Amino acid sequence: MSERLRGVVMAHADLGTALVEAVRVIAGDEAGLAPVSNAGCDRAVLAERLEAAVGGGPAVVFTDLAGGSCTTVAATVARGRADVRVVTGVNLAMLLEFAFHRDEAPDAAAERAAAAGRAAVREVPR
Amino acid sequence: MSVVLFRIDDRLIHGQVVVGWGQATQAGFIVLVDDEVRASDWEQELYRMGVPPSVHVEFASLEEAIELVPAWEADARKGIVLAGDIETMAALCEGAPSIRKVNVGGIHFRAGRTERLRYVYLSDGEAARLKRLSASGVEITAQDVPTVSPVPLDAFA
């Protein structure tokens, strides 16, 4: 089996921390997720924070807003790493799907998580 | 005057600019003045990603921008012009003297800088550069999002 994936939730303000905590409440402590906030930093420092959170192994980075600084920085960091993928538009359903499929390769895990996240967005019937 | 905001922001095109200022100003175009991004198709694609299709995005080198400011100011749409650092915006103002107002939107911590506002950190040299620009007649204020009041240069540099 390949090395288990790490997940990083990189988002504005405290959103990443809150999402990681929400996953922990639902899925337990073994979800493999770490939060990164973009609060108070420029792109270079944000890239350093992300690299520290990703570490040396394979990872998927989840960001909150396409075109936000988290996403552009994550894309730049991942561009230099064959084993790091980025998914934007993070939601709780997406992270839960990821938490239970951390044995996959980054490409497959990212694709699976994105599909779960998309499927979770719907209008609730009245 | 069709450029509604000349802004220094070290995060370049990002959420605060696109969503915050884009909506508040009803901007029809956003220009990023950045030599590095201008030279990279991949980075341009990345920065376009978060901008709604109704907003035109343009990338210019500093040299190109100095030539293009009059055209942007004559554009029928409202526009936002961004630079990632003080030096680029100062050089743009010096090359294009029609620019009368500059917004300091986000300059974050780096070694050698001290906190001036929650979202503005400056070295002494950078503060002096802003003061020189101000002395030349450009009004400089800090304001991260459109819903707060602008802070005059004297209060942060």
**B105-141 pLDDT, tens digit each:** 999 998 999 999 999 999 999 999 999 999 999 999 9
CA nearest to B80, candidates B139, B24, B132, B36? B24
- What's the pLDDT band for A15 if we cut at 50, 70, 90? very high
Neighbours of B132 (CB within 10 A): 12
Domain count within chain A: 1
Q: Is there a contact between B108 and A76 if contact means CB atoms under 8 Å apart? A: no
Strand partners, B6: B81
Q: CA of B72 to nearest chain A CA: how many angstroms apart?
A: 23
Domain ranges of chain B: 3-155
Which domain CATH number covers A74?
3.40.50.510
Q: CA of B136 to nearest chain A CA: how many angstroms apart?
A: 28
Query: Does B63 contact chain A (CB < 8 Å)?
Result: no
Q: Is A72 left (phi over 0), alpha (psi -120 to 50) or beta?
A: alpha
Residues A76-95 have a mean pLDDT of 96
Residues A63-73 have a mean pLDDT of 93
Q: Is there a contact between A71 and B50 if contact means CB atoms under 8 Å apart? A: yes
Q: ipTM higher than 0.85?
A: no
| Structure confidence at residue A1 (pLDDT) | 47
Q: Residues 6 or more apart from A85 whose CB is under 8 A from it? A: A59, A60, A61, A78, A106, A107, A109, A110
Q: CA of A70 to nearest chain B CA: how many angstroms apart?
A: 9
What is the strand order of the sheet A6-11 is part of? A33-37, A6-11, A59-63, A84-88
Regions of chain B where pLDDT drops below 70: 1
- What's the pLDDT band for A115 if we cut at 50, 70, 90? very high
Residues A107-117 have a mean pLDDT of 98
Q: Is there a contact between A69 and B51 if contact means CB atoms under 8 Å apart? A: no
Tokens of B73: 């100011």
Residue range(s) defining the domain that contains residue A103: 6-117
Instruction: Flag whether pLDDT at A109 surpasses 70.
Output: yes
| Structure confidence at residue A31 (pLDDT) | 82
Instruction: Flag whether pLDDT at A2 surpasses 80.
Output: no
CATH superfamily name and code, B3-155: Phosphotransferase system, sorbose subfamily IIB component (3.40.35.10)
Report the C-alpha dihedral over residues B43, B44, B45, B46, rounded to 10 degrees: 50
Q: Is there a contact between B50 and A65 if contact means CB atoms under 8 Å apart? A: yes
Predicted TM-score of the model (pTM): 0.88
